[in-house]
Amino acid sequence: MDLNAMEENHRQKNRTCFILGASGETGKALLKEIVERNIFSKITLIGRRQLTFEDKTYENLVQKVVDFEKLDEYAEAFQGHDVGYCCLGTTKAKAGAEGFVRVDHDYVLKSAELAKAGGCSHFHLESSKGADKTSSFLYLKTKGQVEAEIEDLGFERFSIYRPAVLLVAREESRPAEWVAQKFLGAFSSVFPTMSISITAVARAMVINTLKDGGKKVEILENKAICNLGKIGDKK
């Protein structure tokens, strides 16, 4: 796979993209990969607040501040993008059960609807390993439901990423996740279905963007994400 040729081919198409959740860990890593690879003519960040960057390589970013409770009033922010990346997400512990569903289902689905109406052709969704709309667990059920409902919107291409435990040093405290990371991080190379680095997820999303002609709807489980992430490693 000639990655340099794929990147150059993508640049020639003069495509634009938006990122939802650029302040989160996956969103940060994804933005870094996209900016460094310079594969889009325009990058728009859509979020609830303006982000600040010290690095001048980020100075040409477009930022749209929206109220996720009134997204219909911000339809313009979702117009004119070829590719959309959704990395929105919270936890039940942080937001409560209702807050979790509001963010991970309601905000995500409404954003996808507006993106589709605005002309987005390829929508990427960061979901979770085990996502299943029939699950008895709220987290997995919510993730599975929003996957299915976005699929019904009929994007030209819809890519779903289901990473396992994300290996990342978060700014916020998630004790249970920290313990899991310490344990799984030591075995990540031996058992690639158990965990994955946040950078590998971001790389996989970018590399998959460059692969034209993919399936209309594709689900990438953790091992597939790991494999794509290795391709995107610039080291």
Let me know: does 87 contact 47? Beta carbons within 8 Å: no
The per-residue pLDDT for 167 is: 82
DSSP 8-state secondary structure symbol assigned to residue 83: E
Tens-place pLDDT, residues 205-227: 999 999 877 789 999 999 999 99
pLDDT by residue for the chain (235 residues), tens only, comes to 789 999 999 999 999 999 999 999 999 999 999 999 999 999 999 999 999 998 888 989 999 999 999 999 999 999 999 999 999 998 888 889 999 999 999 999 999 999 999 999 999 999 999 999 999 999 999 999 999 999 999 999 999 999 998 887 544 444 554 454 454 444 444 555 678 999 999 999 999 999 877 789 999 999 999 999 998 676 5
Tokens of 185: 């991080």
How far is Cα 3 from Cα 6, in angstroms, rounded to an integer? 5
How far is Cα 33 from Cα 13, in angstroms, rounded to an integer? 18
Does 182 qualify as catalytic in the annotation?
Answer: no
The per-residue pLDDT for 93 is: 84
C-alpha distances in Å from residue 217, one per residue of 69, 122, 187, 223: 28, 10, 31, 18
The per-residue pLDDT for 103 is: 96
| One-character DSSP codes across 106-155 | IIHHHHHHHHHHTT--EEEEE--TT--TT-SSHHHHHHHHHHHHHHTT--
Tokens of 164: 């396992």
- Domain assignments of the chain as residue spans, ordered by start: 3-230
Please give the sequence-ordered ranges of beta strands (E in DSSP) within 6-143, or none if there are none: 16-20, 42-47, 62-65, 83-86, 122-126
What amino acid is encoded at 81 in this protein?
Answer: H
The per-residue pLDDT for 170 is: 47
Burial (CB count <10 Å: 0-12, 13-18, 19+), residue 98: exposed
How far is Cα 132 from Cα 46, in angstroms, rounded to an integer? 27
How far is Cα 91 from Cα 100, in angstroms, rounded to an integer? 6
C-alpha distances in Å from residue 20, one per residue of 31, 40, 61, 112, 147: 10, 16, 13, 10, 16
DSSP 8-state secondary structure symbol assigned to residue 194: T
**Of the listed 58, 74, 110, 139, which one is catalytic?**
139
The per-residue pLDDT for 178 is: 47
How far is Cα 73 from Cα 77, in angstroms, rounded to an integer? 9
**Of the listed 107, 129, 143, 161, which one is catalytic?**
143
| CATH class for the domain made up of 3-230 | alpha beta
The per-residue pLDDT for 94 is: 87
C-alpha distances in Å from residue 138, one per residue of 98, 144, 212: 10, 10, 34
Does 235 qualify as catalytic in the annotation?
Answer: no
